[in-house]
Structure 1
């Protein structure tokens, strides 16, 4: 009976031991939680910057399309003027 009782008691953890182990685990969790929050903040900033850059790129693309239209129009005018000059007889 004493043997069975001593085995049962020695297999149990004390409250102090459990509390120390839980404190260790909790401190590790807190550290990881802090790192996760930092990563979330950084990723949020990166997302905002990427969205702003995408918006700016879209505006730039629209401006380039407008400029291309103007350049094409000027090119056509130049081609027409050159054709008119070539048609005029010299002399």
Structure 2
């Protein structure tokens, strides 16, 4: 026998053994593994839907708060105008009193 064949013989035995012993997964094993994965996916999907609902609610509340803040800013601007007018009238009244 040639030295080349003696080196290849153990490798061939290992390859044939690994193919023969490896085998395939049974349908039951695969179903069990898929069922476990599906349960995890269902749990994650449920959590994702809850998170999405929470995010949508937070967005709606944020938009409502933004609208309220804009209304409040407009009211403050109106009140500032009124206060400025009252201050001007008061200053004019004080100047009149100072002349008399």
TM-score over 0.5 (shorter chain): yes
TM-score, length-scaled by structure 1? 0.86
- CA RMSD, 1 decimal: 1.8
Report the structure number with the largest CA radius of gyration: 2
Deviation, structure 1 residue 10: 3.7
Which contiguous aligned blocks of 4+ residues in structure 1 show a shift greater than 6 angstroms? Answer: none
Which residue of structure 2 aligns with residue 53 of structure 1?
65
Unaligned runs of at least 5 residues, structure 2? 1-13
Which residue of structure 1 aligns with residue 79 of structure 2?
67
TM-score, length-scaled by structure 2? 0.79
Deviation, structure 1 residue 14: 1.0
Which residue of structure 1 aligns with residue 97 of structure 2?
85
Give distance in 1, aligned partners of 2:39 and 2:96: 85
